[in-house]
Amino acid sequence: MTVRFKHIYCDQGKTVVAFIIMKQYVIDEIRAEDYKQIKAFLEKAYGKSELGGIYWIPVDEAQLTSLQTSHQSCQPFYVALDLEPDRLCCELLIRTKQHVRCDCMGYANEEQRNWIISSVDGMFKELEIIT
């Protein structure tokens, strides 16, 4: 789990520190040649990054919860991958591009988490980066 700190300044000039917690699956110490391979794979499979190394991976419909399935206006659901030259971070958060907040968005349940990790591991295996 990654914990980030964010300084927020209130109107009285005092600093408030907010803790932002994000559950992630991280693969680090990626070699330069592997980074190029991963980037090419992600672009071919999911299109070019819309925002500096962020790729939106559609969640398989079989993995959706009943709440997510019932929220037709929120679909499709995604997992965000953040590819940097030395690491790949995968949020364990199921989200939609349709709304900023909704009850159907949230941390992956155990089945979804396993699917996310298996999908990322499968990509590395296919690319023969991790065997």
Per-residue pLDDT reduced to its tens digit, 55-91? 999 999 999 999 999 999 999 999 999 999 999 999 8
Round to whole Å and give the CA distance between 29 and 27. 7
Domain count, the chain: 1
Is residue 56 one of the residues assigned to a domain? yes
Is residue 131 one of the residues assigned to a domain? no
The identity of residue 27, as a single letter, is: I
Is residue 32 one of the residues assigned to a domain? yes
Q: Where are the alpha helices (DSSP H) in the chain?
A: 32-46, 66-70, 110-126
Q: How confident is the model at residue 48 (pLDDT cuts 50, 70, 90)?
A: very high
For residue 6, the model assigns a pLDDT of: 45
Is residue 2 one of the residues assigned to a domain? no
- pLDDT of 44 higher than 60: yes
Structural domain including 74 reads 23-126
